[in-house]
Structure 1
Amino acid sequence: MIRVAAAVIENEEGLLLIARRKPEKSQGGLWEFPGGKLEEGESPEACLRRELMEEMGIEIAIGAFFGQNDHFYDAVHIQLIAYQAKHTAGEIRLADHDQYEWVQVNQLMNYEFAPADIKFVQMLMQA
């Protein structure tokens, strides 16, 4: 099982940050809530702070636990753990993604998300 943390990041205007995976990456071309794989002994919160700085050059304040989704890509089991977060500092510089957008919740349905992230899109749309 691969444990992955994802952040549902909101800015001052209440928009959510989504990012598109580079074409050559696994799930390339699909949108996701940014985050990354947990390292051995790392908490999801610490992982998110590290990954968002490494992949996007931004700092976030971690909020409440948002949800968990267990998804299987063929034989690979992904446990996706999501937290709400606020963007606190930094201008976005992309490393693992080729595009990002700040979107309203009702715009999420206009993007094709990675399968493991779809549960969180549905939860946000129903809130």
Structure 2
Amino acid sequence: MLEVAAAVIENDQGLVLVARRKEGKSQAGLWEFPGGKLEAGESPEDCLRRELREEMGIDILPYERVGSNVHDYGAVTICLMAYRAKWLGGSIVLTDHDACCWAKREELTSFEWAPADIPIVEKLLASRERR
């Protein structure tokens, strides 16, 4: 099973950063919370700092676990661990994605999500409703 970390980055206006996988990548055309595969001995938080720097050119600070879920894609099963993260700096330069945007939480249902990310979206929407 592959361990994958995802960053739920919320800006000062409460918007969440989402990104679309580019053609040629697995899950191409689907939206996700940015992140990537953990390397051997790497914590999810360290993975997110590395992956966001590599894939988007930004620095983040993961600070709270949102949740995790296991998803079987057929050829591979992943354990996706999502963390809230603060944007520390940098300008977005996309390498693994062909688009990204800041979305309101209530807009998250309008995106076509990678299946593993859907439970994270549902958790975010449920936590907003309880507030």
TM-score where L is the length of structure 2: 0.95
Question: Following superposition of structure 1 onto structure 2, how do residues 63-74 of structure 1 map, counting pairs within 5 Å?
Answer: 63-74=63-74
SS at match of 1:51: helix
Stretches of structure 2 lacking an aligned partner (at least 5 in a row): none
Q: What is residue 54 of structure 1 aligned with on the other side?
A: 54
1:36 aligns with 2:36: yes
1:29 partner amino acid = G
Cα distance in 2 for partners of 1:14, 1:60 equals 16
Structure 1 position 75, deviation (Å) = 4.0
Q: What is residue 91 of structure 1 aligned with on the other side?
A: 91
Stretches of structure 1 lacking an aligned partner (at least 5 in a row): none
Residue correspondences, number: 127
1:83 partner amino acid = Y
Structure 1 position 71, deviation (Å) = 0.3
Task: Name the Cα RMSD after superposition.
Answer: 0.7
Structure 1 position 11, deviation (Å) = 1.1
* Percent of aligned pairs sharing the same letter: 59
2:123 partner amino acid = M
Cα distance in 2 for partners of 1:51, 1:18 equals 15
Structure 1 position 52, deviation (Å) = 0.2
Structure 1 position 23, deviation (Å) = 1.6
